Structure 1
Amino acid sequence: MKQLSRLLVVGLLFIGFNNLQAQDENNPWQVSFGVNAIDVYPTGAEDAQANFGFEAGTFGSEYFNANDHWNILPSVSYIGVSRSVGDNFAVGVRGSLNRISNLGDVRVDDLSHYAVDGTIKYAFLDDTMFDPFVEIGGGYTWVDEVGAGTVNGGIGFNLWFSDNFGLTLQSSYKHSFEDYLVKHFQHMAGISIKFGGTDTDGDGIYDKDDACPEVPGLEAFNGCPDTDGDGIEDSKDACPNEAGSKEMNGCPDQDGDGVADKDDACPAEAGLAALAGCPDADGDGVADKDDECPNEAGPSENNGCPWPDTDGDGVLDKDDQCPDVAGTVANKGCPEVTEEVQKQLNEYARTILFDTGKASLKTESVSVFVDIIKILNEYPNAKFTVEGHTDSVGSDKLNQSLSEKRANSVRDFLIKEGIDANRLEAIGYGESKPIATNNTRAGRAQNRRVEINLIK
């Protein structure tokens, strides 16, 4: 276990130092220093009495009892350095020293305490004055020159008074797997200073705050340039080398039609934004320069000339799914299924017969499909549900399965006879939607049915 602890410490320190050397100009260093307090009491260490001669409290007990349990060296007693590695993570190293005179509730001669720890920190917020974080890591601790590895976890926060200066408060639990080093808490309070970053383009704005770190710019534009001097930074200027207006994203508009010259297909003639700055005399949405009938409205598909509407239903033939039969605009030129047609459809559907207890269609039911298919073909863009229903004889499970199979049997037959599969959806309702009582033979006969209903 001792060798494993040492390997863990070496590994964490190796990761920390390698990342500390990473060249990330936009992520600052952080140095922290201050005082630390060691408290062995609230660790819940069951072996404290046997190994160290004192009784530990339950984990977290008397956590804030500084007078009786904390060991504080009245001087700068820790220093740490860390660096951000992106995504709110930072790695670092920290060294601390202390003198132990409070061993739980027992007073002892001053014991020396030294620790070196590798840290991995995650901050929850970005660029805020209150900066909470969690920290994990590991290290090596010596008490009276007897050392062991620890695994650490802690929480804390930075309180930044400026971009670079702040207060740090933190509390960590350090767990040792060796019976000769007591588990303990380490509390820290100190000053933190952030620094680092460069000014690559020399415009007086550090890269971490410079939106254009490699091009000299203006402070008003967070370090980005305004080449044409029109008051619009180049990154937001659609014409960075030609002065223009803010409304035109920095581009000129000589005809004043609200379309920048660079996007205006008719830059010397005022027009419409929708037509790339060109006029449309007949208002048909086709620019005059492309309109074969500039004074007579027509669709673009017909080069600006009127498109025919054979059935006169207000839906152009090209968009009319039923061009030879008058319909409605809402139904794409096809007639809409009326309540009367829906009623007729279900009168036919309810006469469909199946073999008893099966989903197979009876031969005598085939003739009724002729009438059903005729109605479906009269409304080629309408979609329908084929719904199966049963009476209450038998179990719910069997009735549900039978209703689904019968609905699919009808759907399959209609598809086989030429109805588009995308227009039909099969649903089984079992015995859940009776239309008559199930207490009589006549009622049960009505409940055993198929319905074909319009999907609205």
Structure 2
Amino acid sequence: MKHLNKLFVAMLMLAGLSSQAQDSNNPWALTFGVNAVDTRVSAASKLEDQLSQYFNANDNWNILPSVSFVNLSKHVGGNFSFGVTGSINKLTRYVLPRVGEGPYTVVNPGDINYYAVDGVINYSLMSLIKSKKIDPSIHVGGGYTWLGEESSAGTLNGGLGLTYWFSETVGLSVRSTYKQSFEDIREDMPSHMQHFAGLTFKFGGSDKDGDGIYDKDDACPEVAGLKQFNGCPDTDADGIEDSKDACPEVAGPAEFNGCPDTDGDGIADNVDACPEVAGLKAFNGCPDTDGDGVQDKDDKCKDVKGPKENAGCPWPDRDGDKVFDKDDRCPDVAGTVANNGCPEVTEEAIKRLNDYAKTILFDSGKATFKQQTYPVLQAIVAILKEYPNSNFSIEGHTDSDGKDATNQKLSEDRAAAVKNFLIENGIASSRLTSAGFGESKPIDTNKTKAGKANNRRVEVKLVK
């Protein structure tokens, strides 16, 4: 046993015993403090005698007034941990078995050095009582104990412990362990109780980003984050973690995946083509001030409704007849929708034309006009110009004097002469046709001078 003290000191530096609830966050625990050895259990013959003097530290406990044990343990899963302890003490009080019904005698066995190395499996009851501070436990194990330089034996151990955690990693631990000796001669290595009290420090957990969440539970171990997001950050503090935030550096509501809606149009800024001005979803958040379906940036008349085909401007209607110029065949003359924007020829207008036509005078037997006829022709021109989209037929007629062939040709020539005058004075040739009917369509008798005068005529008819 000469070198046992040196060996024991080395073991104290490396070994320990678990008496607290460790976990996977901080799997290691170091406990150090004082221990007390009580030999009464070996001297007592009855169980009630073993426990009756349990707290009689003044008479039965052997205590060194210094750090006398060191424990090191590791969490192994669930509520279990495993550890080893090294402890030293000095036996100055040894309880002898009593004789008969006499008292127990406490003697000094000679200041015997006490050394022990024990391994323990510890089971925490903390989760069962649902406490975050108070941690009761039970433990079993075994070890080896030396008394002085002559006596040593293995022991089978079991007991109870309690730790009060001041914080997540620091606690005050107490534990009592019953050590059943395997030595046949109990005086050489008696079964005994060993009590421990000390401070416990848990360690070994890694938190690289320093956010208070251990790496093993941290979904973002390299970046400081929040507990509610498993250690991931919420840079803009809008309650949405960055990985799910479409705008992680600008606060915004959850309905827009963390992006703001600056203009309040219900479209998040990150998908809003006009984030500073309220607009419509159909235009990616850009406005349509006049509501004509053409967004302002493409609308040349953004304050007045107009069709897309005209860049958002209304179609012009110069003559104000409610037929747009693009569809108006007579854009400068008011007309009707039914007649494509052109005025419709009324019966009154036809009557006026024919009233004028009846007064057209030709040189006798010729297709030339008498001088007083030109104002009449100009009046006809003026009426036709009122209806620029209407077509007309000029028809010539004669009386029955002379040969039929001559009369036919004369009627055709006179109708053509009127047509040509109208064309020369601004009426489109495409709008006019002419025809002669000779003496075939009289409107009066050819037996009187007045009747013949009526039959010699020019008529203007609307071509529909």
TM-score (norm 1): 0.44
Q: Which has the larger radius of gyration?
A: 2
